Every structure is written in C-alpha cells, then in structure tokens.
C-alpha cells in the first residue's frame, strides 16, 4: 500500500506544484470535519439531514472545500478545491493560503477519520478530517509535517 500512496502523492504533487511558488514538502487530502458522517447519513438515512450536516461541517471548516488537497511548503499551507479524476485529481481552483506562522495544527482521531484542527493566532479554529479507514496511512507524512513546528523565517 505504501507504494500506491507514494504514486498518488507524486501524481497530486505534479498537479498542484505548478500553482505554488515554492517547493511543496508534503501533500494531503482533507475535508471539513463531519463530512464523513454527513455522507453516511446522506446515503443511508436522510438526504435532508445529510445535507444539513454537510453544511454545518463546511461552516466549521471556514467553508474550505468538501474535497480539498492541502499542499504544505516551508512557509505556507495552500488549499485547493479538486475533483477526483480517475486515479488522480483535477484542480478546480486555489482556495486559500495560510502562512505557517499564524496557525498551529493539532491532531486528533475519530472512529474512521484522522482529524486536525488549525488553530489560528486570532482564535479561529478550522476543523478538518481525512478518511483513515482503508487509506493505508496516505496522509501520515502530511500530518507529521503539518504538526511539526514551522521552520524559522529565512
């Protein structure tokens, strides 16, 4: 599974690196926290309830994309809205950039998701998650880099 993950990371990196002005050190896929549960409700119980849960999850994540690729550089976290395309992605748009010195990432874990909060110096917290069940640790290098202290400015 590790080889497969490296192949996907390389493919995704190739899709977003041309849009980022400095080298990307880690790449991951995240969604607003609660999206996984909302998807389950949407498919299994109630469409309206699932849509309401998805809306609440999106608001808790600062309206970041439902399917997002997050590219971390030495100085900045870049967020891209993407669309799955075969075994790759199609980048729809660059959504946001967050300087690393204005937030700290805190890691958590749910039953089927890996969770991360981006806690900003102004008190804002964006809550995100990634499906961990069956992912073979795809986001582990990204989470390790994201939660490490930001390097000092050059």
Strands 24-32, 68-73: pairing is: antiparallel
How far is CA 13 from each of CA 70, 131, 145, rounded to the nearest angstrom?
10, 19, 15
pTM of the model: 0.80
**Helical (H) or strand (E) element with 147:** helix 140-147
Identify whether 153 is part of a domain. Answer: no
Identify whether 90 is part of a domain. Answer: yes
Domain tally, the chain: 1
Q: What is the pLDDT of residue 42?
A: 42
Identify whether 152 is part of a domain. Answer: no
Identify whether 19 is part of a domain. Answer: yes
Identify whether 84 is part of a domain. Answer: yes
Q: What is the pLDDT of residue 65?
A: 84
Give the neighbor-by-neighbor strand order of the sheet with 125-131: 88-99, 76-85, 68-73, 24-32, 125-131, 113-120, 103-109
Q: What is the pLDDT along the chain (154 residues), one digit of tens a residue?
A: 568 888 889 999 999 999 999 999 999 999 888 764 434 434 445 555 545 445 554 555 456 888 899 999 999 999 999 988 877 789 999 999 999 999 999 998 776 788 899 999 999 999 888 876 555 788 899 999 999 987 776 6
CATH of the domain at 15: 2.30.29
Q: Which residues pair with 69 in a beta bridge?
A: 29, 80
d(C-alpha 23, C-alpha 73), whole Å? 6
Domain that holds residue 48: 2-145
Structure tokens at 63: 């309206």
Structure tokens at 22: 């400095």
Q: What is the pLDDT of residue 106?
A: 93
Identify whether 151 is part of a domain. Answer: no
Q: Is 108 left (phi over 0), alpha (psi -120 to 50) or beta?
A: beta
């Amino acid at each position: 599974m590790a080889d497969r993950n490296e192949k996907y990371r390389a493919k995704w990196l190739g899709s977003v690196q041309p849009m980022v002005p400095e080298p990307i050190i880690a790449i991951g896929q995240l969604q607003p926290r609660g999206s996984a549960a909302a998807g389950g409700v949407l498919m299994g119980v109630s469409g309206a309830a699932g849509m309401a849960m998805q809306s609440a999850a999106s608001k808790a994540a600062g309206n970041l994309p439902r399917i997002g690729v997050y590219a971390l550089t030495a100085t900045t976290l870049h967020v891209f809205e993407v669309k799955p395309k075969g075994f790759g992605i199609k980048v729809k748009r660059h959504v946001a950039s967050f300087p690393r010195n204005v937030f700290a990432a805190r890691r958590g874990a749910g039953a089927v998701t890996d969770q991360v909060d981006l806690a900003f110096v102004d008190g804002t917290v964006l809550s995100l998650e990634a499906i961990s069940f069956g992912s073979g640790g795809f986001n582990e290098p990204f989470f390790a880099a994201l939660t490490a202290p930001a390097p000092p400015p050059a």
